[in-house]
Amino acid sequence: MQCNSGAACISLDKAIEKGLDPKDRPTDLDLVWVPWLEKWSCIECFETFRQGEMTHEDFDDPVWREWVKNEFGI
Ligand SMILES: [Zn+2]
């Protein structure tokens, strides 16, 4: 299981800073289920991107939708 942020994942960034090969995605992350995304997110991304404060209604907002598209590719 991996964070939905993929290459933009903050935990991944931090792991790379510590010398992790980007190909070896960290797999021991604490993941949270994000209902409106219908995806798993690591705690770092969940808190940083404030995914817990967003809802499906935000997702309907064009600005948010654009952001989500850029951020998550969905
Ligand atoms: Zn992440």
The SS3 assignment for 22 reads: coil
Taking the centre of ligand 1 as the mean of its atom positions, its distance from the CA of residue 61, in whole angstroms, is 23
Taking the centre of ligand 1 as the mean of its atom positions, its distance from the CA of residue 43, in whole angstroms, is 7
Contact 31, 40 (CB under 8 A): yes
What's the pLDDT tens digit per position in 5-22?
A: 888 899 989 989 999 887
Q: Which residue has the tokens 């952001």?
A: 67
What's the pLDDT tens digit per position in 34-59?
A: 988 889 999 999 999 888 887 777 76
Taking the centre of ligand 1 as the mean of its atom positions, its distance from the CA of residue 24, in whole angstroms, is 14
Phi-psi sector, 21: left (phi>0), alpha (psi -120 to 50), beta: beta
Taking the centre of ligand 1 as the mean of its atom positions, its distance from the CA of residue 49, in whole angstroms, is 9
Q: What are the residue boundaries of the structural domains of the chain, listed by start?
A: 6-72
